[in-house]
Amino acid sequence: MSDFKEFKAHFPQKISKSLARYVTDTVLKESRYLFFKTVMGIQFAHCTHCNKRHRSEVKLKHKQKEKVTCPHCKSSCYVRADGVSRKYMTDKCVLVWYEKSVVDPKAITARVIGVYRDYSGSYENIETEYNAGHMYLFESGKSQYWDWKEHRKSVFSAFDSRFGGYKRFVSHGNIRSAVKGTSFQYSTWEDFIKYQNSSYVSDMVEFFDLAARYPCVEYLSKLGFKKIIWTKLYRNSTLNAVNWRGKTIEKVLRLDKSSINEIRQSGRKWGPQELKFFQDLRKKGYPFTAVDAFDLSDIDRGQHSHIFKENKAYASEETIMRYLLKQFRRGSRSSLSSVAYDFKDYLKQCKELGMSLKEERYLFPNDLHEAHQKLTAMIKHKKNEKLDQLLNKRIAELKKMYFEASGIFIRAVESVDELFDEGKRLNHCVGGYAESYVNARTDLFVLRELSDPDKPYYTLQVTDKRFIQCRGLKNCNMTDEVKIVVDSFMEQLNKKSKKSGRLNRPANRQEAVV
């Protein structure tokens, strides 16, 4: 208990005039009412803000939508009738309030204060109740947080974690006044007010906790490393890139002055990942600039392992990095991570096609994006050839399934290339059914107009002689005309001879044709 008394001695014992004024004018500004009652046909109203009574010039109604101005204090007030029950009528809000320490003028305090007004009894001479259960002290080198006389090991925002359902208020003017002349005056706290989470009303206690324990926060912020401080505030890992207890900027950033100057002149927003990557490059003695390191840091750990470790037999890590930078700065990709992904996939394709990576023309093509696209097309064609070999085993039977009616003919898809081309030109996903088609798990047909037999029209899917779907351009449904033809085809398909396994020959060209 003696520790708590020593801690509490830093806080004022009375509510200051500035705090009371802020609560009245801002926090509980909406807690102003005109209570009226009618005597002998005349309405009299009492203002809870100025505590004065007046004769109403307009007729008042209980809980009317429009506010009414008090003629004495000019407050805009809600209207309530005197005779209506007020058993549960209360107003409450929460605010955080900063002040200089009473004991140490270089330290600051913060309290999370609940304010409360009770209108259930008399509405005359209403008083505001203050309740401060969460208290913080920030001194140079340390900070404390007490939660209802219980000392917490770590500082966190009770304001945001425990009062989410309340109306909450923070006065940045109050913070500015409290920190003036203290160790925190130039801590750059104003730059860390807006969190990404819009529902998070920061009371700044977690920032001042960080600034109290780690004085380097101030000059990290001023040197342009705000992203690192945000990472710390969001309680994410800083990857051991920062020595928070370092006494000099060189020790904090684990870099020499020349490297730090490069970072400052780079004009980039450095976070832990970028800083850590630059530190690693400097340790390895690679002569990359800070801007190079910043761009290269976009390569994720998985890509780094595959590209550099698995291909060290062909080129050094430094050589590969320089190649990736060169390709990135050609402008074909928006991030170096995308370039690295293409390169990783490209190397895999080279090995699959038996291309020797010992030859520089294959390992480092002049235009990676173009080379990657070419290999992708080659592998796709190679895979299609294998699928076509399987498809040829059943294509003879599929060719028997030919149908013609009303200027439209239906035939089976004859190759995997045709299947992908069909999907591409009609802008639908039939190419995804290639494997199922080749392995006879489904049947796919193309619909063509006799007047333009090479132009994709509709694509039909049938499984176990059951209609599945028929789609046209951009996945559109069948027209009535196409539906009639498809219905006729399905009817003939289900009438085929069990012995021959072929469609019945029609009597004229308006019916099925083998």
Residue 142 backbone phi and psi in degrees, to 5: -160, 165
- In 3D space, the residue among 472, 474, 467 whose CA is nearest the CA of residue 456 turns out to be 472
Instruction: Find out whether 290 and 225 touch, Cβ atoms under 8 Å.
Output: no
- Total residues found in the chain within this entry: 514
pLDDT of residue 302: 64
Handedness of CA 374, 375, 377, 378 (dihedral sign): positive
Cα separation, 248 vs 262, in Å, equals 17
User: What's the CA angle centered on 368, arms 421 and 341, to 5 degrees?
Assistant: 85
pLDDT of residue 513: 29
- In 3D space, the residue among 462, 453, 455, 458 whose CA is nearest the CA of residue 475 turns out to be 458
Instruction: Find out whether 91 and 31 touch, Cβ atoms under 8 Å.
Output: yes
How do the residues of the chain divide into helix, strand and coil, expressed in percent and rounded to 5?
Answer: 40, 20, 40
Instruction: Find out whether 310 and 298 touch, Cβ atoms under 8 Å.
Output: no
Instruction: Find out whether 400 and 502 touch, Cβ atoms under 8 Å.
Output: yes
Q: Name the residue type at position 235.
A: R
Read off the tokens for 7.
């801690």
- In 3D space, the residue among 156, 159, 160, 226 whose CA is nearest the CA of residue 187 turns out to be 226
For the stretch 472-478, contacts whose Cβ atoms lie closer than 8 Å and that sit 24 or more positions apart, written own/partner, are 472/426, 473/426, 473/427, 474/426, 474/427, 474/428, 475/427, 475/428, 475/429
- Which pLDDT tens digits describe the chain residue by residue (514 residues)? 679 999 999 999 999 999 999 999 999 999 999 999 999 999 999 999 999 999 999 999 999 999 999 999 999 999 999 999 999 999 999 999 999 999 999 999 999 999 999 999 999 999 999 999 999 999 999 999 999 989 999 999 998 888 878 899 999 999 999 999 999 999 999 999 988 776 677 899 999 999 999 999 999 999 999 999 999 999 999 999 999 999 999 999 999 999 999 999 999 999 999 999 999 999 999 999 999 999 999 987 666 677 888 888 899 999 999 999 999 999 888 889 889 989 989 998 888 878 889 999 899 999 999 999 888 877 776 677 777 788 887 888 888 888 999 999 999 998 888 887 888 788 887 877 888 888 889 999 999 999 999 999 999 999 998 999 999 998 899 999 999 999 999 999 888 644 444 443 333 333 332 2
pLDDT of residue 387: 78
Cα separation, 258 vs 275, in Å, equals 14
Instruction: Find out whether 118 and 72 touch, Cβ atoms under 8 Å.
Output: no
Q: Which residue has the tokens 């080279």?
A: 350
Residue 106 backbone phi and psi in degrees, to 5: -90, -5
pLDDT of residue 1: 61
Strand partners, 33: 78
Q: Name the residue type at position 204.
A: M
Identify the architecture of domain 400-494 in CATH.
Answer: 3-Layer(aba) Sandwich (3.40)
Read off the tokens for 369.
């994006």
Read off the tokens for 377.
């097309």
pLDDT of residue 301: 66
Cα separation, 127 vs 117, in Å, equals 7
Instruction: Find out whether 482 and 473 touch, Cβ atoms under 8 Å.
Output: no
Q: How many CB atoms lie within 10 A of CB 266?
A: 18
Q: Reduce the DSSP state of residue 42 to 3 states and report it.
A: strand
Cα separation, 504 vs 239, in Å, equals 73
What is the domain partition of the chain in residue ranges?
A: 2-171, 221-296, 301-377, 400-494
Q: Which residue has the tokens 């990709």?
A: 333
Read off the tokens for 22.
């802020």
